[in-house]
Amino acid sequence: MPILELKDICKDYQQGREPVRVLKNINLTVEKGDYLAIMGPSGSGKTTLMNIIGCLDVPTSGSYILEGRDLKDLSDDDLAEVRNKHIGFVFQSFHLLPKMEAVDNVALPLLYADVPLKERRARAEEALKAVGLGERIHFLPNQLSGGQCQRVAIARAIVGNPQLLLADEPTGALDTKAGQQIMEIFRRLSGEGMTIIMITHEPSIAACADKTYRILDGELRTQEEQDEKA
């Protein structure tokens, strides 16, 4: 069974008087353990696609099946629960809460899953160790480098043991060396069976993934299809 299946996903945005179709009949099947990259220039619709895959947005038409469950007609709170249990997010700008220590930042998703405090702490520390920050669990985000912040964010994404990791330009704000480290962690997670979908516009980063898709003007193609067309 595939971990997620997108069938004929379309997304319209109202822009002025006319609705603009941002995503056009997207079909995508991702198997468990896949590591794929989606490339595209800005304005191509890749962030919209990411939001739909991440259950932050709902498609105008088409169906989205995540782990065998059709996500159609779920309420906001139900979607929040799906995000909490099944998806880990890594953002370009980290989105860490500045006044919380690394360990509390990492434990946050567990708070919303009603995990008791002690267990939250223990699991957050473990996740931080897994990304190589075992000695910095009590640091505040502004005491950490960009690469370290992104690793904290990865720890936060994996602390709830989701099946799917969504990364939106995870190296966009980092230098090459730090970016490399992040890619190494992704590679290791993939090796442990984590499904990873990564959005990027850097070919060198996309090359780290097993499979690359391209999105252009709202249409999704595999790298091969793209090459054929060109």
Partner 1 sequence: MRENIGLAFQGIWGHKMRSVLTMLGIIIGIASIITIVSTIQGTNEQIKENLIGAGNNVVTVQLNKEGRVYDMSWNPVPEGVRCITEETRQDLEKIGGVEQVSLYHTRSYVDQLFYQNTQFNGTLYGIDENFLGVYGYQVKSGRGFTESDYVNHRKVILVDTGVATNLFGGVDPVGKTLELQGDAYIVVGVVAQSKEFAPVINSMKDYQLYVNQSAGNVYIPDSLWPTAYRFDEPQSVAIKVENTDAMTTAGKEAADLLTEKQILDTTAKLDYRSEDMLEQAQQLQKMSQATNNQLIWIASISLLVGGIGVMNIMLVSVTERTSEIGLKKAIGAKKKRILLQFLTESAVLTSLGGVIGVVSGVILAQVISKIMQIPVSISVPAIGVAVVFSTLIGVVFGMLPAIQAANLNPIEALRRE
- In the complex with partner 1, the residue whose CB is nearer, 163 or 180, is 163
- In the complex with partner 1, the residue whose CB is nearer, 52 or 209, is 52
Query: At closest approach, how far in Å is the CB of 6 from partner 1?
Result: 18
The residue ranges that bind partner 1 (CB under 8 A) are: 51, 54, 56-57, 76-77, 80-81, 83-85, 89, 91, 93, 95, 97, 99, 108-109, 111-113, 156, 160
**DSSP-assigned states of every residue in the chain:** --SEEEEEEEEEEEETTEEEEEEEEEEEEE-TT-EEEEE--TTSSHHHHHHHHTTSS--SEEEEEETTEE-TT--HHHHHHHHHHHEEEE-TT----TTS-HHHHHHHHHHHTT--HHHHHHHHHHHHHHTT-TT-TT--GGGS-HHHHHHHHHHHHHTT--SEEEEESTTTTS-HHHHHHHHHHHHHHHHTT-EEEEEES-HHHHTTSSEEEEEETTEEEEHHHHHHH-
- In the complex with partner 1, the residue whose CB is nearer, 120 or 212, is 120
- In the complex with partner 1, the residue whose CB is nearer, 20 or 111, is 111
Query: At closest approach, how far in Å is the CB of 57 from partner 1?
Result: 6
Query: At closest approach, how far in Å is the CB of 97 from partner 1?
Result: 6
Query: At closest approach, how far in Å is the CB of 135 from partner 1?
Result: 25
Query: At closest approach, how far in Å is the CB of 203 from partner 1?
Result: 25
- In the complex with partner 1, the residue whose CB is nearer, 153 or 183, is 153
